[in-house]
Amino acid sequence: MLKDLVTEYLDTRRALGFELYEPERTLHAFVAHATARGESHVRASTAIDWAGSANTAGQRSRRLHTIALFARYVRAEDPRHEVPSNRVFPRVPRQLMPYIYSPEESRRIVEAVGTLGMPGSMRELTAQTAIALLFATGLRISELLALDIDDIKPEGLLIRRTKFNKTRLVPLHETARAGLDRYLERRRALGRATKALFLNWHGNRFGQRGFGIVFRRICRAAGIERPAGEQQPRVHDVRHTFAVRALEACPEGRERVAQHMLALTTYLGHEHVTDTYWYLQATPRLMRDIADRVRDALGNGGAR
Which residue in 43, 63, 245, 270 is the catalytic one?
A: 270
140 catalytic residue (yes or no):
yes
If you ran DSSP here, which 8-state letter would residue 118 be given?
A: S
195 catalytic residue (yes or no):
no
Q: Residue 158, SS3?
A: strand
Which residue in 43, 60, 62, 140 is the catalytic one?
A: 140
300 CA to centre of own chain: 43
Q: Residue 36, SS3?
A: helix
| Burial classification of residue 197, based on how many CB atoms lie within 10 Å of its CB (0-12 exposed, 13-18 middle, 19 or more buried) | buried
163 catalytic residue (yes or no):
yes
In terms of Cα–Cα distance, which of 6, 56, 64, 59 is closest to 31? 6
Which residue in 9, 73, 99, 279 is the catalytic one?
A: 279
226 catalytic residue (yes or no):
no
| Burial classification of residue 294, based on how many CB atoms lie within 10 Å of its CB (0-12 exposed, 13-18 middle, 19 or more buried) | exposed
33 catalytic residue (yes or no):
no
Q: Residue 153, SS3?
A: strand
236 catalytic residue (yes or no):
yes
Catalytic residue numbers, as ranges: 140, 163, 236, 239, 270, 279
